Amino acid sequence: MEILKRSFPEHNFFSEEAGQTQNQSEYLWIIDPLDGTTNFIHGFPHVGISIALLKNKQPILGVILDPLHNELFTAETGQGAYLNGIKISPSTTDSLEKTVTIMTRGATTESIKRHADLYQTIITNTHSTRITGSVALGLAYLACGRFDASINNDCKFYDCVAGNLISHEAGAILTTFRNQPWKGDSQGSTDILAANKHMHNQILNLIKEK
């Protein structure tokens, strides 16, 4: 934040730890300095740094860094998505039997209960699923084809906005669980389904009532 503020002192900034600065700017930086805190505390090497830039409440830049594996995911609106400078795209998996998903959840008791219900549905209808503890990296991995779908119930906007833009720019389809378009200016918590173009509707049909 100090580096960005030196370069863009007139911009607005938000992070979970530092709160929000209001400079009446059309630009807002959203910074999550450590996505995967529990992983970090327990020494599980799966954490990311997530940064997004919004202009008039719409994402125009997304950056996710995995510092432990030297992987930098980036995207600009209308410019595609990249991993370490190489353009990326989602998988081409086209059947539930072959689909591997990644799932995350919110921290509330209700979120945990919903997650358990979703997990039961997904695990019995797809090839496999993973729960790795980082929304940002899950969306980045979906964007580059490591997973076929990313299912996130009650996702905090600051956790997923950069990953949403990166997966969208890579070519994934993003909606809520009720098939409403993803809106970059969504605040609070949102249900996000991101999937390759073949699997989005099939996954959506499994979870749209959850």
CATH of the domain at 154: 3.40.190.80
Structural tokens at position 180: 């409403």
Higher pLDDT, 17 or 7: 7
Non-local CB neighbours of 116 within 8 Å, separated by 6+ positions: none
pLDDT-derived band of residue 23, with 50, 70 and 90 as boundaries? confident
pLDDT of the residue at 17:
72
Residue 164 has pLDDT above 70, yes or no: yes
Domain ranges, residue 137: 96-207
pLDDT of the residue at 182:
79
The CB density around residue 49, as the number of other CB atoms within 10 Å, is 18
How many domains is the chain partitioned into structurally?
2
pLDDT of the residue at 210:
66
pLDDT of the residue at 189:
79
CATH of the domain at 17: 3.30.540.10
Residue of 206, 204, 61, 64 lying closest to 134 (CA atoms):
64
Question: For residue range 112-150, what is the model confidence (pLDDT) as tens digits?
Answer: 999 999 999 999 999 999 999 999 999 999 999 999 999
